[in-house]
Amino acid sequence: MPRRPEIRLPWNSLGLVAVLALLVLLFSLQSDYFFSAVTFRTLANQIPTLTVIAVGMTYVLLVAGIDLSVGSVMALCAALMGVLMVDAGWPLPAALLASLAAGLACGLANGAISAHWRIPSFVVTLGMLEIARGGAYLVTGSQTRYLGGAVGAIGDPLPGLGLSPALLVALAVVAVAQFLLLRTVFGRYLVAIGTNEEAARLSGINTGRWKALVFAIAGLLAALGGVFQLGYLQSADPNAGIGLELSAIAAVVIGGTSLSGGRGSVVNSFLGVLIIAVMQTGLAQLGVSEPGKRIITGAVIIVAVLIDQYREPLAARFARR
């Protein structure tokens, strides 16, 4: 019977929370403006897009795949929604559904091609990265569409709460995805496929179908991330999301999801998103340049991967004691 992800690693989440608290303390001591309600509200309302994309990436990495197209798919779906509302005069609900359908189609294409022809997902999604980015330029004519208050209800903070509807939906997505991963047959199948795909296939699991479903979910969540970004920026930019797939992978890896598949946690991926967001915000307030932020973020990713190599042996030793 495949093991449940993260059940044997109860200290992993606490370790991430400790790292997050340490970063908040460090930046609070270095900057007079970091530890404030304004900073935390701004940070919270900036993370919904990366949060939902990281959820999809967690599922993809669990089955030992990778999706390099999520940033471009997000841009394509946001661009499509913007053009439908501005140029075609579609109402918000109809344009939103069309955007989500486009993301679902891109993800399903990734999964179906990768699973049916057994092409590495790295290659397939690299191709989709270019296709979706080109589609975003084609749909918009390489021009940004400004929507203004037409999508403000998605990204504007709610009165009295200070948090946007996009953040509340993103948190709900994290909760549902974690429940599916830990408490359903779907989650166990993902872990089984990522642990040993051939053994899962011989045990009767239709591995191709489940992998296609996982990529479809990742595409759908990338589209949802595009909707969130559209609400936050109130504009559809065909250049949006460049490099976002790397940030999503970084958050998921920092959260402890194995790059080789079979182990991961959606909640821990969300903590990884928070760590990246706090780190980038803190470094920006300290005046660190963009190249400097990239160097530091890259170093943190490498350290997280190195720690991941020793997490299992240390956890097993702790469990024996």
**Cα–Cα dist 201/206, whole Å:** 6
6 has pLDDT over 50: no
- In percent, the amount of the chain with pLDDT more than 90 equals 77
Structure tokens at 74: 């997000």
Q: Which residues does 22 contact at the CB level (< 8 Å), separation at least 6? A: none
Q: Is the pTM of this model over 0.85?
A: yes
Which of 267, 310, 298 lies closest to 17 in space, CA to CA?
267
**Cα–Cα dist 55/36, whole Å:** 28
Q: What is the rounded average pLDDT of the residues 139-156?
A: 92
- Name the pLDDT band for 317 (thresholds 50, 70, 90): low
**Which residue has better confidence, 197 or 5?**
197
5 has pLDDT over 60: no
Quick one: pLDDT at residue 312?
Answer: 62
**Cα–Cα dist 102/223, whole Å:** 7
pLDDT (tens digit, 9 = 90+) per residue, 165-194?
A: 999 999 999 999 999 999 999 999 999 999
DSSP annotation of 169: H
Quick one: pLDDT at residue 259?
Answer: 87
User: How far are the Cα atoms of 116, 126, 127, 161 from residue 109, in angstroms, in the given order?
Assistant: 10, 12, 11, 39
Quick one: pLDDT at residue 10?
Answer: 46
Mean pLDDT (the chain, rounded): 91
Quick one: pLDDT at residue 307?
Answer: 74
Q: What is the rounded average pLDDT of the residues 127-139?
A: 97
209 has pLDDT over 90: yes
**Cα–Cα dist 205/189, whole Å:** 7
Quick one: pLDDT at residue 301?
Answer: 79
Residue 15: Cβ within 10 Å count: 15
To 10 degrees, the CA torsion angle through 154, 74, 61, 45? -30
Q: What is the rounded average pLDDT of the residues 149-171?
A: 92
pLDDT (tens digit, 9 = 90+) per residue, 87-114?
A: 999 999 999 999 999 999 999 999 999 9
Lowest-confidence range among 87-91, 301-305, 314-318?
314-318
Quick one: pLDDT at residue 8?
Answer: 43
pLDDT (tens digit, 9 = 90+) per residue, 25-50?
A: 999 999 888 999 999 999 999 999 99
